[in-house]
Structure 1
Amino acid sequence: MRKIVNCKQSNCSQKTNALRIISTALAILLSISPTDFAGAQTEAPPSEESAGESDEQKPPERIDIQPLAEDEEIGSRLKKILVATEWFVDPQVRVEEGVVFLTGEAKSPEHKEWATKLSGNTQDVVAVANRMKVTKPSTWDFTPAWQEIDNLRRNSIQTLPVLLVALVVLLLFWFATKFVAALSRRIAARRTSNSLLREVVAKAVSIPVLLLGIYLALRVSGLTRLAATVLGGTGLLGIVLGIAFRDIAENFLASILLSIQRPFRTGDLIIVEGRKGFVQSVTTRGTTIMTLDGNHVQIPNSTIYKSVIENITANPNQRQTFVVGVDYEDSLEDVQATILSVLKEHPTVLAKPEPLVLVDELAASTVNLRIYFWLDISKHDGLKVRSSLIRLVKKALVDGGFTLPDEAREVIFPKGIPIRMLEERETENRDRKVSPSTDERDQPERTTTQSEGSLTSEAEEIEQQAKNSRLPESGENLLAD
């Protein structure tokens, strides 16, 4: 309870002196500074900088004025504190019988509450009546924005050294990544000559080094949570990208396997998925072939790797076949000998493996023989050689007196069969005045004709066509040595 002292000025001063003496004695006995009893121990008001940094600063638990504080002293002390904070506009403090009346304007509700608590914790204050109004900020008040910009400026200046150190760490690891990648390529070059495989090894070794540098740079700059997110999200990011770009990753892995295993080379004639053509290039996405018609065809590497690949050029020797039908009355042994002699005399047919003439089928009106022969497709074209052999075999059989009948047919004459006398046919021949000509069988048959062209392989011509054409896809050829 506040003590109300009603005395004359002389008596009050004497009592005050007596109290000071008693407090001094008690302080000596209790080893307590006399100023703790007689001095005005007041919690220091928040400074200008601290007031701007935190609006939630708690008021002191107690403000002592004097052992017996007067109303005027309490009001004067509180007003000085409120003015010093600069949180209030024209603060007024009036104290009557220990009750503090606060008027004026507070800049925020928190400041108003702070003034109430401050007054309540003051010595000899019985109650507080806070009648302050909270100032409503103007719509066009840009003070918070300027304060925020100033805070950003200060924070930027404070964090600038940290960012410089983080940048130095990142640059060091960047150069370390380059060095590790170059070293990995050099080591991998001793193991393999495949350029794609060397790049894959270099990236597999250098990327973790770069990620470690990014992590340390973020930790140095104070972004620990972001650094953990980068490391933790790397695996998740890999899964998401793997699902989204599954086909691209599958083709890329297939290109690595194709470049390592090399089931074919550039210029090989292959058949994949019913597509026949000469291999032009293999990139990280697909394989480009040029068909015998001169068209570019791109096949995804994943399809190439999972499909059956028929490499025609891998073995230059290729076997070709065709069928010939002769009459039932002809000697099959003589027919075989005649055909075999044609095969052995042909310049493109290989002696080893030796050609074969086998009886294949007893058809309706013919005995069919199947002829097998081998040729070097790297030098000669199979279709052209086959055409030449069929023509030469037919000529040899006709010259040998063998019959090449066609399939039996049923002919219906609805008006009967017309009969003509042999004399009439001879007369017609005389009327035609057919001039005598040399028997065709006496003329030697050429190995190739103008219609068949050269029997050489078309690989060189296709290669020339490929050089003159534009590749449908750019990129390094993984099959290049």
Structure 2
Amino acid sequence: MLTTLTNQNNAMATGFVAMLPQIAISLIIVVITAIVARFTAKITDLLIGKTDIRPSLRQLIETLVKLGTWVLGLMIAAIVVFPDLTPGSLIAGLGIGAVAIGFAFQDIFENFLAGVLIMVREKMRIGDVIECEGIIGKVEHITLRETHIRALSGELTVVPNSVLFKNPVEILTDREQRRHDVVIGVSYDTNLDEAADVIRTAVSVIEQVDDEKGVDVFAQEFNSSSVDFLVRWWSGSAPRSGRESKDQVVRAIKRGLDEAGIEIPFPYITHTFKEKVPMGENPGEPSTGG
């Protein structure tokens, strides 16, 4: 038994020594692969830099080129160490291994695939302000696994790509402009046609409002103490641009209605009592009035 183990160890040692040249060559191939992968990434970046490809897609192409270089280099190194391996058998083995790894790291590969698809599709670029699953902010960085979203208040949220891919994403800055609205009420004794003209004129002259797309003023509903108008206009799509234009619109409407003598009412409250309320100076004394 001991002799058999000794012979096996000697055979393994002899085989390992015989394989040292192949191992050394394979290590050199790995080093060369690392150098070639770095150069191919730089060359790819130079070639793509002359085009109008968006940054996220550029990063994806560079990553795939680098990954392909590494896969090819490692395959060559494995064939050098194990000459019996063929490209076909190696690819088949990698396929079986990929399936097993895929089941073990399902979430990771799901985010990876979602990252690839997010980078490929045209919408949602870096710099866009988006809203998804209660997360609102500007897209700062997109990787193959996650996306960095900077909240409007400054916090950074790292979102798995699968969340952005499987759920509806509202892109607030997909276009340069979007429609904003505000509700304004006037008193019931107001001439509604006159009020609508005053509001439309006040909003149309604001610089941040796109007068080519017009200003909509709709009498919307009878409220408790006012007739409400829905005012809609087009301005910048960024959240700050929307707030700035709404600030100017509200100020202009208030100023225009004041100048026209049109009241913006506050809620009126009417109290009804079942019994007569004493009107005397002292609550306990009966009223002496008529």
Q: Same fold (TM over 0.5)?
A: yes
Question: Structure 1 residues 176, 336: CA separation in 2 closer, same or farther (over 3 Å shift)?
Answer: same
Q: Which residue of 2 aligns with 1:396?
A: 256
Q: Which residue of 2 aligns with 1:247?
A: 107
CA contact (8 A) 2:129 2:238 kept: no
Larger Rg belongs to: 1
CA distance in 2 between counterparts of 1:233 and 1:314 reads 45
Question: Structure 1 residues 304, 228: CA separation in 2 closer, same or farther (over 3 Å shift)?
Answer: closer
Within the candidate set 308, 311, 328, 2:188 is matched to: 328
CA distance in 1 between counterparts of 2:153 and 2:91 reads 53
CA distance in 2 between counterparts of 1:346 and 1:407 reads 29
Structure 2 residue 169 is matched with structure 1 residue 313: no
Q: Return the letter of the residue paired with 1:267.
A: G
How far the C-alpha of 1:310 sits from its partner, in A, is: 2.0
Moved more, 289-298 or 240-249: 289-298
Question: Structure 1 residues 268, 385: CA separation in 2 closer, same or farther (over 3 Å shift)?
Answer: same
Structure 2 residue 97 is matched with structure 1 residue 237: yes
1:116-141 alpha-carbon deviations (Å, 9 max, x no partner):
xxxxxxxxxxxxxxxxxxxxxxxxxx
Structure 2 residue 34 is matched with structure 1 residue 170: no
CA distance in 1 between counterparts of 2:177 and 2:117 reads 28
Question: Structure 1 residues 367, 241: CA separation in 2 closer, same or farther (over 3 Å shift)?
Answer: same
Question: Structure 1 residues 149, 405: CA separation in 2 closer, same or farther (over 3 Å shift)?
Answer: closer
Q: Which residue of 1 aligns with 2:246?
A: 386
Percent identical among aligned pairs is: 23
Structure 2 residue 135 is matched with structure 1 residue 279: no
Within the candidate set 149, 152, 155, 2:11 is matched to: 155
Within the candidate set 248, 272, 277, 1:416 is matched to: 277
How far the C-alpha of 1:335 sits from its partner, in A, is: 0.7
CA distance in 2 between counterparts of 1:228 and 1:237 reads 14
1:374-408 alpha-carbon deviations (Å, 9 max, x no partner):
22245953224323432432343233222333445
How far the C-alpha of 1:301 sits from its partner, in A, is: 0.8
How far the C-alpha of 1:271 sits from its partner, in A, is: 1.3
Q: Structure 1: which 5+ runs fail to align? A: 1-143, 421-481
Structure showing greater relative contact order (alpha-carbon pairs closer than 8 Å, 6 or more residues apart) = 2
Question: Structure 1 residues 381, 209: CA separation in 2 closer, same or farther (over 3 Å shift)?
Answer: closer
SS of 1:334's equivalent?
helix
Count how many residue pairs are aligned between Structure 1 and Structure 2: 271
Give the TM-score taking structure 1 as reference length. 0.48
1:97-129 alpha-carbon deviations (Å, 9 max, x no partner):
xxxxxxxxxxxxxxxxxxxxxxxxxxxxxxxxx
Structure 2 residue 117 is matched with structure 1 residue 261: no
How far the C-alpha of 1:165 sits from its partner, in A, is: 4.3
Q: Return the letter of the residue paired with 2:277.
A: G
Within the candidate set 366, 378, 400, 2:226 is matched to: 366
CA distance in 1 between counterparts of 2:14 and 2:147 reads 56
1:225-260 alpha-carbon deviations (Å, 9 max, x no partner):
xx9997664333211110111111111122222222
Question: Structure 1 residues 194, 363: CA separation in 2 closer, same or farther (over 3 Å shift)?
Answer: same
Moved more, 172-181 or 276-285: 172-181
TM alignment of 1:56-455, pairs within 5 A: 151=7, 154-155=10-11, 158-159=14-15, 162-167=18-23, 170-171=26-27, 174=30, 177=33, 181=37, 185=41, 186=43, 190=47, 194-204=58-68, 206-208=70-72, 210-219=74-83, 233-377=93-237, 381-407=241-267, 409-413=269-273, 416=277, 418=279
CA contact (8 A) 1:177 1:207 kept: no
